[in-house]
Chains A and B, each alone.
Chain A
Amino acid sequence: MGALGQLGMKWVLRWGLVTALLCALPFVLQPYELDIYRKLLFWVALAVSYNFLFGIAGQMALSHFAFAGIGGYTVVILLTQADLGLGLAIIAALLLAGILAFIVSFAATRLEGFYLALATLAFAQLLIVVLDEGGTLTGGTGGLTSYSLPAVFGTKIEGPWYALVMVGVLLGTLAILLRIDRSWFGRACRAIRDNTEAAAAMGVDVARTKIIAFTLTSVMAAAAGMVYAFFDNTVNPPVFGLENAFLLLFMVIVGGSGSHAGAIIGAVLLKLSQDILEPVVGHFHAIGFGVLVVAAILFQPKGLIGTWDNLRARMKRAKGGKGVK
């Protein structure tokens, strides 16, 4: 019993149910729906780790998609051009993303607010320039195509089974970040976000906390990017460019920055609306994202999850009121 007992039956049941549902879905979806589903999982995984970076640690970075790109590109290049094994390629790609993130994170210790956003945006732009001009190594503007995931222990992971890998990365990201959020580290991150001087005065090592938060979440983005690289067996620069970096930021704001559930809701809502609306109204659907962000900041800074919390609190009060009568 031990650990499980401490967590409680309700917890096990709830997460067991969520896991089972996420894992079962790929097997009942049509191929087109499956494609939307696994890309949605990818976005949700990125939104969850980005929410920790932006919403909880208060670092407005625009490099999250760049790190997803670094993860995806590196693992493909190592597999196809360096002939590394899959396990080694994954470890090396995560390591490279971690080292780069560690270097970039020094910007986070020195810059605040939108200055950090623009420094990381410049980093993301540099990456796109390198990818565009990388010749045969990166495939240039067309990116890398027609490679495939090598067999793992003699079996090829394909179709719905491969979607489970993304489910695994998403749940892993969520589990680690939920755990960290409740530890001293999560509290240190929130303290720095709300008042850096006060946090430092209370003995929080501001620089170290910022560096760890940035590096950890960026490596998580790289992990998601690695899985993404084998969705359609193609990676190209625009996917990891600025537009998606901004969209990710908008997802977290609309859903409710600082809240894990909010990030998930924001990502699902915005990504699905994009998937549904884009074929109908073209790129113009993006105006909705702008309107949602403006509305969220003006009227509900806690995002959709804040509205939901308010609603629940009001319902509880209404119930309580009746009870007193």
Chain B
Amino acid sequence: MSDLLELLVSASASGCIYGLVALAYLLVLRPTGIVNFAVGEWAMIGAFAAYLLSAGLGLPSILVIPGAALLMAILGWATEWSVVRPLVVRGAGHLAPILVLLGMLVIYHQIMLWRFGADQFPLEGPFGFRRVELGPIAGTPQSFFIIVTTLAVFGAVWLFFERTVWGKSFEAVAINRRAAALMGINLRMVTALAFAGGAAIAGIAGLLDAPRGSLEVNMALPLAIQGFSALVIGGVNRVEGALLGGIILAFAEDLTRRYVPIPSGLSLGVTPLLLIIFLMVRPNGLLRAREAG
């Protein structure tokens, strides 16, 4: 039983990471319709940024997350400004920004490989490798930290969408781009903010994930695929969907790995299998869009 409970904690932590990556997809996808496959690279770069800020600059750990998130927001903004905006202005097809971001994915990845190599950087979370017990629930401090931080991020994003004019304008653009523009919403600003926010959240996902396993350049692609799977499972229509999808995906993965008697290599097939099933059977995800009004 305690074994199961401990598994649930670590699975929840994984689910939170996937949920954050899914949220990074969602922030860009909702207002712009662009599936940004480079979020995995953004997560990896965010993890390295945090590593450099804390180990290199010696920044106190409380400032590392905001610092890395700020750097990532700048990177996201710069990406939007340099390669996405020209395509939107020109009115290129809907696939063009997606393909250009695939190209950027390769550029990010190769620059990071060139700078840091493919080696794994052993990384210690801010809390070391202790064990925390809350009644019957036990886990690593990093797991609890991930869960708390993720809930905070989701809470902030939820408040942003529900309580601020900017959040409402995001929703308006998602529902009807042209009508939103006619109502005086600045589409450029919304797109730029979406990319900046998406990159910041992806970066947070990466820097939370790295101390659990290892910090390495090749952590990017798995995160991109798992995050997208979480997004598809939860549905692209609502912020909560990203978290729900992440949790479901992580539980499916971890429970299969732990309790289903198949070679551990085969359990890697769970994510692609779930992705295919949901894309084919329920392409809009589990959560339905909220009624307008």
A contacts, CB < 8 Å to B: 60, 106-107, 110-111, 113-115, 118-119, 121-123, 125-126, 129-130, 132-133, 242, 246, 249-250, 253, 283-284, 286-287, 289-294, 297-298, 301
Q: Contact: A118 with B279, CB < 8 Å?
A: yes
Given A289-B106, A290-B107, A301 contacting B92 (CB threshold 8 A): yes
Chain B residues lying within 8 Å of A125, measured Cβ to Cβ, are 225, 268-269, 271-272
Q: Contact: B276 with A123, CB < 8 Å?
A: yes
Interface of chain B: mostly helix, strand, loop or mixed: helix
Q: Contact: A294 with B283, CB < 8 Å?
A: no
Q: Contact: B95 with A286, CB < 8 Å?
A: no
For window 247-293 of B, CB contacts with A under 8 Å fall at: 263, 265-266, 268-269, 271-273, 275-276, 279-280, 283
How many residues on B have C-beta within 8 angstroms of the other chain's C-beta atoms?
A: 41
Q: Contact: A111 with B87, CB < 8 Å?
A: no
- Inter-chain CA distance A130–B103, complex, in Å, is 29
> 12 pairs across A/B with beta carbons < 8 Å?
A113-B98, A114-B37, A121-B272, A122-B275, A123-B276, A125-B272, A253-B99, A284-B113, A286-B110, A287-B110, A291-B103, A292-B103
- Inter-chain CA distance A156–B110, complex, in Å, is 43
Cβ-neighbour of A293 out of B37, B106, B283 (below 8 A): B106
Q: Contact: A115 with B279, CB < 8 Å?
A: yes
Tell whether B8 is near chain A: CB-to-CB under 8 Å: no
Chain B residues lying within 8 Å of A253, measured Cβ to Cβ, are 99
Sample of 15 further A-B pairs with CB below 8 A, known A122-B272, A294-B107: A60-B95, A107-B279, A115-B283, A118-B35, A122-B279, A133-B265, A246-B106, A250-B102, A250-B103, A283-B113, A293-B99, A293-B100, A294-B104, A297-B92, A297-B100
Tell whether B63 is near chain A: CB-to-CB under 8 Å: no
1/0 per position for B91-128, CB-CB distance to A under 8 A? 01011101110111111011101100000000000000
Given A293-B99, A293-B102, A119 contacting B275 (CB threshold 8 A): yes
Q: Contact: B283 with A246, CB < 8 Å?
A: no
Q: Contact: B106 with A286, CB < 8 Å?
A: yes
- Inter-chain CA distance A215–B153, complex, in Å, is 44
Chain B residues lying within 8 Å of A106, measured Cβ to Cβ, are 280
Q: Contact: B272 with A126, CB < 8 Å?
A: yes
B contacts, CB < 8 Å to A: 35, 37, 83, 86-87, 92, 94-96, 98-100, 102-107, 109-111, 113-114, 221, 225, 228-229, 232, 263, 265-266, 268-269, 271-273, 275-276, 279-280, 283
- Inter-chain CA distance A246–B280, complex, in Å, is 23
Determine how close the nearest CB of chain B comes to the CB of A246; give it in whole angstroms: 7
Q: Contact: A114 with B35, CB < 8 Å?
A: yes
Q: Contact: B276 with A133, CB < 8 Å?
A: no
- Inter-chain CA distance A291–B271, complex, in Å, is 31
- Inter-chain CA distance A129–B114, complex, in Å, is 28
Residue of B nearest to A126 (CB): B272
- Inter-chain CA distance A111–B99, complex, in Å, is 17
Chain B residues lying within 8 Å of A289, measured Cβ to Cβ, are 103, 106
Chain B residues lying within 8 Å of A301, measured Cβ to Cβ, are 92, 96
- Inter-chain CA distance A189–B269, complex, in Å, is 33
Chain B residues lying within 8 Å of A133, measured Cβ to Cβ, are 263, 265-266
